[in-house]
C-alpha cells in the first residue's frame, strides 16, 4: 500500500517545495520593489510662486514621498533654513517639491575682491586633497605653504617652508560666507585654493608652483607665530640624526606643555 502511494507523497512534497520556493521568491521580489518606496519627508510649495519671489516659512510645508524619487537635489526639512529668505529663480506651483537648483545662490552675487584686504592680493594655487591636508583645509583657515624643489646647486630634492601663517580666502568656489547647501554637488569639492598674500609673496607662489610641488600645512586657529630663517630640508637632513633629535625634543616639549595646561598652550 505504501509503495502505491509513494508517487502521490513525492508529488505532494515536490508541490509544497515548489510553493515554498515560489512564495519566498515572490516575497523577495516584493521587498525589492518596495525598498525604494519607503516614505521620506521633503519640502514642497504650498502656494504658487513667480520668479524672484522671496521664500518665507508660510509658503512651504512638508510632504512624504517615496525615497526612490528623492535625490540630493531635493530640499529636505532639516535644511529648510538655508532656502528661507532666498529668491526662487523659476516659477513654482503649489505642491512642487523644492530643489536646490531653483534658488539664487549666495555664490552668484559673491565677489571675491571684496574679501581681499587693501595692499594684499588673492592668488590661486593647485591643491589636491593629498596636498591640502586630505581636503580638510577650509576658507578662513591659517596655513603654511611648503614647497619641494630640486636644488640647482646640488641637484638634490629639498623641501622648504615658503610662506607661514597665510589666510585661505577660498577653496575652489567656496568662501567663508558661501552656503554650501546651495551649490551643485560638483562645486562642493575643490582642486585649488585661493590665498591672501602680499604682492611679493604672490610671485614666490607662482614661481614655486612652476618649479616644483606645493603643499599646505594646517595650523591651529590660535597659532599665529612664525619662525624666521627656516632652513630647508634636504636629502641629507633625512639621514642626519642631529636635526631629527632636535625636532623630536621640540615636539615632545610642546605636547608636555599642552598636557600640563589641559590642552591649551599658554606660552
Q: How far is CA 67 from CA 36, 40, 63, 184, in A?
A: 6, 6, 12, 20
Q: How far apart are CA 177 and CA 170, in angstroms?
A: 10
Q: What percent of the chain has pLDDT over 90?
A: 43
Reported confidence tier of residue 2, pLDDT bands at 50, 70, 90 = very low
Please give the grid coordinates belonging to residue 42: 521633503
Q: How far apart are CA 96 and CA 237, in angstroms?
A: 64
Least confident of 15-29, 109-123, 253-267: 253-267
Q: Is the pLDDT of residue 35 over 80?
A: no
User: What is the tens place of the pLDDT at every residue in 53-83?
Assistant: 999 999 999 999 888 888 888 889 988 887 8
- All residues at 6 or more sequence positions from 201 whose CB lies less than 8 Å from its CB, including other chains: 121, 123, 163, 166
Mean pLDDT of 9-19: 69
Q: How far apart are CA 179 and CA 73, in angstroms?
A: 14
Q: Nearest-5° angle of CA 132, CA 133, CA 134? A: 90
Q: Is the pLDDT of residue 12 over 70?
A: no
Are the C-beta atoms of residues 197 and 121 closer than 8 Å to each other? yes
Q: Is the pLDDT of residue 36 over 60?
A: no
CATH no. of 39-102: 3.90.1210.10
Q: Is the pLDDT of residue 109 over 60?
A: no
What are the residue boundaries of the structural domains of the chain, listed by start? 39-102, 112-230
Reported confidence tier of residue 18, pLDDT bands at 50, 70, 90 = confident
pLDDT (0 to 100) of residue 242 = 67
Mean pLDDT of 224-230: 86
Are the C-beta atoms of residues 98 and 53 closer than 8 Å to each other? no
Least confident of 7-11, 97-101, 140-144: 7-11
Select the more confidently predicted residue: 27 or 249: 249
DSSP state of 231: P
User: What does R_g of the chain's alpha carbons equal in angstroms?
Assistant: 31
Q: Is the pLDDT of residue 211 over 70?
A: yes
Which residue, among 240, 209, 221, has the nearest Cα to 146 in the 3D structure? Answer: 209
How far is residue 61 CA from its own chain's centroid? 29
Which residue, among 217, 116, 224, has the nearest Cα to 175 in the 3D structure? Answer: 116
Which residue, among 165, 168, 157, 159, has the nearest Cα to 125 in the 3D structure? Answer: 168
Are the C-beta atoms of residues 23 and 15 closer than 8 Å to each other? no
CB neighbour burial string for 90-119, b if at least 16 within 10 angstroms, e if fewer = eebeeeebbbbebbebbbeebeeeebeeee
pLDDT (0 to 100) of residue 108 = 47
Mean pLDDT of the chain: 83
Reported confidence tier of residue 258, pLDDT bands at 50, 70, 90 = low
Amino acid at each position: 500500500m505504501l509503495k502505491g502511494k509513494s508517487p502521490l507523497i513525492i508529488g505532494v512534497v515536490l508541490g509544497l517545495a515548489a510553493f515554498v520556493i515560489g512564495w519566498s521568491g515572490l516575497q523577495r521580489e516584493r521587498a525589492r520593489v518596495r525598498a525604494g518606496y519607503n516614505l521620506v519627508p521633503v519640502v514642497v510649495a504650498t502656494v504658487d510662486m513667480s520668479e524672484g519671489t522671496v521664500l518665507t516659512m508660510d509658503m512651504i510645508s512638508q510632504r512624504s514621498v517615496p525615497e526612490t524619487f528623492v535625490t540630493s537635489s531635493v530640499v529636505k526639512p532639516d535644511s529648510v533654513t538655508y532656502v528661507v529668505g532666498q529668491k526662487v529663480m523659476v516659477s513654482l506651483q503649489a505642491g512642487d517639491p523644492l530643489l536646490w537648483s531653483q534658488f539664487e545662490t549666495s555664490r552668484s552675487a559673491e565677489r571675491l575682491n571684496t574679501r581681499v584686504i587693501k595692499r594684499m592680493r588673492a592668488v590661486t594655487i593647485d591643491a589636491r586633497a593629498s596636498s591640502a591636508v586630505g581636503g580638510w583645509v577650509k576658507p578662513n583657515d591659517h596655513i603654511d605653504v611648503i614647497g619641494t624643489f630640486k636644488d640647482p646647486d646640488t641637484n638634490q630634492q629639498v623641501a622648504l617652508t615658503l610662506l607661514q601663517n597665510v589666510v585661505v580666502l577660498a577653496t575652489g568656489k567656496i568662501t567663508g560666507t558661501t552656503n554650501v547647501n546651495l551649490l551643485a554637488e560638483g562645486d562642493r569639492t575643490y582642486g585649488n585654493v585661493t590665498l591672501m598674500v602680499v604682492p611679493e609673496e604672490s610671485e614666490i607662489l607662482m614661481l614655486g608652483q612652476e618649479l616644483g610641488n606645493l603643499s599646505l600645512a594646517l595650523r591651529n586657529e590660535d597659532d599665529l607665530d612664525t619662525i624666521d630663517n627656516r632652513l630647508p630640508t634636504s636629502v641629507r637632513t633625512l639621514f642626519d640624526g642631529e636635526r631629527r633629535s632636535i625636532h623630536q625634543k621640540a615636539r615632545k616639549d610642546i605636547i608636555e606643555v599642552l598636557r600640563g595646561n589641559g590642552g591649551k598652550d599658554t606660552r
